[in-house]
Structure 1
Amino acid sequence: MTAVVPRDVLCVGDVVTDTAIELIRDDNTITYTDDDGPWLAMRSGAKLPFAGFRDFDAAGNAANAAVACTRLGLDAAIATDVGKDDTGQRIAARLLEHGVDTGLVHVHPDQQSNHHFVLRHGAERTILVKHHEFAYRWPDPDPPPRWVYFSSLSEHADAYQDEIARWLGAHPDVRLAFQPGTLQIRAGVAPLRAVYARSEVVIMNREEAVTVTGGDHADVHDLLARLHALGPSKVVVTDGPDGAYAADGEEHLWMPTYPDPGPPVERTGAGDAFASTLVAALVRGETFRTALRWAPVNAMSVVQRVGGQAGLLPRAQLEALLDRAPEGYGPVPYARP
């Protein structure tokens, strides 16, 4: 009997269809900034024209990660939940088109699939989110994958997350990457303590790291140390155009962005591209420093296109861009200011 080869990576998390609505920038729809950060404002009660809309099936952190991994030459599968509706069928079909194994997609016959609405205002976006309350169940993949990439789930998934953590505890050879989604960030450490402790690498942005750890936004070293204290051997804190910070238990590093060829078109999926590309490099056996060099290239490419997947690069194109990187492009030790 021929042995079954384990998948390189199993991506776990909710998938959605995004409807991206491009707003018109005028006096009726504006952005402004106050002490709490940037805001999008629209005139209440008005009928607001919009420039157009477009549907993106099979979106969301886990789906974006699975597509990124397949583009980079990995054998990727996804464990996720959809309804038995047209949206769910389109999601599964689109994942298959990208080469993602959908054998662990759980179809719920009496429910709708997740559908979000993305309000685009220039390069920025505001997302209207609704996660359906699926009866999640862990599929117990056989054979286990080499890596699990765990990301965004709904607020109804506590028992499912516990089930995943128990399975990971029973399969110590499976390596875990954790990119928490918005609701997992908001839930705090307590319901996910076992996941953080089991992770080989945890990736989130600077604001999320503050929410999770209670650390000081101005002190990246503090944020990295607090994340390390949760148990992962490697942590990465992204900081938008200011690059990313990383720690592997021995040193703290700063990784610059890869230069944009032009102004960003849309930022949707940039964080997913960074995180999943970094993990894909680790899955391929690259060093942590090399993985940090890979990640910003795909993030740069994604923001040059609309949607979170159109700009994801095949490995050959990513490596070609690395060959043309500016002198000194790469992680450098990050000392306290």
Structure 2
Amino acid sequence: MTSGVTSVRPCDVLCVGDVVTDTAIDLIPSDSTTTLPDEDGDWLAMRLGAKLPFADLKIFDAVGNAANAAVACTRLGLRAGIATDVGKDDAGQRIIARLDEQGVDVGLVHVHPDQQTNHHFVLRYGAERTILVRHHEFDYRWSGPTALPRWVYFSSLSEHAGAYQHALAAWLDDHPEVRLAFSPGTLQIAGGVAPLRAIYRRSDVVIMNREEAVTVTGGDHADVPDLLRRLHDLGPTRVVVTDGPAGAYASDGDEHLRLPPYPDPAPPVERTGAGDAFASTLVAALARGETWRTALRWAPVNSMSVVQQVGGQSGLLTLVELKHLLSRADERYEPTPS
């Protein structure tokens, strides 16, 4: 059973996806911890049975892809809501209170009386992090808002939410005036294209990183134009492939663009939430009526700001702050044909 109040006030952006509490643990490099290089990315290695020192511990309520996106949109001056699921426990109540404090409409938060709220553990090792993840098996049930949002921003959900995703896709088909942005989460990427084919086909814009694009499309990591074409073949109108410090690539079907990163003022403190900041800021710009190229210029600025602080929301910018940083950008900070 779930309980929740259907939102009656229209949102500019309704964010849909799981929400979590993160406990971030700062590991101290020691004789018992190290990183091991690998062609697909470094491994974090810890000696079995060791007592590992840590420097700090922080708890972040109301995070995760959809929550980070909702907070980003509110800070950029939009009315944002969230459709998500929590347990009827202290963590669930803190999450609702935190989102409400940030100005996010919580009318579509479903509270499950016999479940615990999702809780992740983030092992921070320098600027990198490894996340221990568990998604509870909520009785996911989609109930659309009575007042239609202009955009839906759909992101990470549990592997147990297949019926929910199908119901969301059917609701979107019934409301073609609602625009859809899809930034798939790790479990959705791992689940393959087939369960989400209707979502890809319905999307106005799909955003994912380069490694995810390879997994989804089966394309060549070295051939970004082909990755963009393969993503278009799934149906979305516009696609964006982010590439970490190397920037991002985008296509509207007619033109392929490359966007450099907005320069970091200092080495990154932590990369948690950088992808969420990029994707949600791109969507927020479009929801505010900005052009495609302007939206592409906005997105890396918020991503840069987020990696300068710990946590996925601490560095999220207001509209005034973002425009100020854009005004200081080098003239070469522009999308260029790739």
Give your verdict on TM over 0.5: yes
Equivalent of residue 128 in structure 1, options 125, 132, 135: 132
Q: In 2, Cα distance between the equivalents of 1:291 and 1:164?
A: 26
- 2:4 corresponds in structure 1 to none
Counterpart amino acid of 2:72?
Answer: A
Count of aligned pairs between the two proteins: 331
Task: Kindly report which structure 2 residues correspond to 1:167-178, keeping only aligned pairs within 5 A, or say none.
Answer: 167-178=171-182
Q: Is 1:66 aligned to residue 70 of structure 2?
A: yes
Q: In 2, Cα distance between the equivalents of 1:170 and 1:122?
A: 47
Counterpart amino acid of 2:198?
Answer: A
Equivalent of residue 311 in structure 2, options 307, 310, 326: 307
Counterpart amino acid of 1:63?
Answer: A
Q: Deviations over 1:208-250 (max 9, x none)?
A: 0000000000000010000001010100000000000000011
Give the SS at the match of 1:138.
coil
Task: Kindly report which structure 2 residues correspond to 1:194-233, keeping only aligned pairs within 5 A, or say none.
Answer: 194-233=198-237
Q: Is 1:277 aligned to residue 277 of structure 2?
A: no
RMSD between superposed Cα atoms in Å: 0.8
- 2:105 corresponds in structure 1 to 101
1:5 Cα deviation after fit: 5.8
- 1:164 corresponds in structure 2 to 168
Q: Where does structure 1 lack aligned partners over 5 or more consecutive residues?
A: none
- 2:3 corresponds in structure 1 to none
- 1:86 corresponds in structure 2 to 90
1:176 Cα deviation after fit: 0.2
Q: Where does structure 2 lack aligned partners over 5 or more consecutive residues?
A: 1-7
Q: Deviations over 1:195-219 (max 9, x none)?
A: 0000000000000000000000000
| More displaced stretch, 26-35 vs 47-56 | 26-35
Give the SS at the match of 2:43.
strand
Q: In 2, Cα distance between the equivalents of 1:39 and 1:109?
A: 38
Q: In 2, Cα distance between the equivalents of 1:9 and 1:316?
A: 19
1:36 Cα deviation after fit: 3.4
Q: Deviations over 1:91-127 (max 9, x none)?
A: 1111011100001100000000000000000000000
- 1:244 corresponds in structure 2 to 248
Task: Give the fraction of aligned pairs with identical amino acids, expressed as a percent.
Answer: 77
Give the SS at the match of 2:42.
strand
Return the TM-score normalized by structure 2.
0.97
Equivalent of residue 10 in structure 1, options 10, 14, 20: 14
- 2:31 corresponds in structure 1 to 27
1:6 Cα deviation after fit: 2.3
Q: In 1, Cα distance between the equivalents of 2:102 and 2:299?
A: 20
Give the SS at the match of 1:211.
helix
- 1:114 corresponds in structure 2 to 118
Return the TM-score normalized by structure 1.
0.97
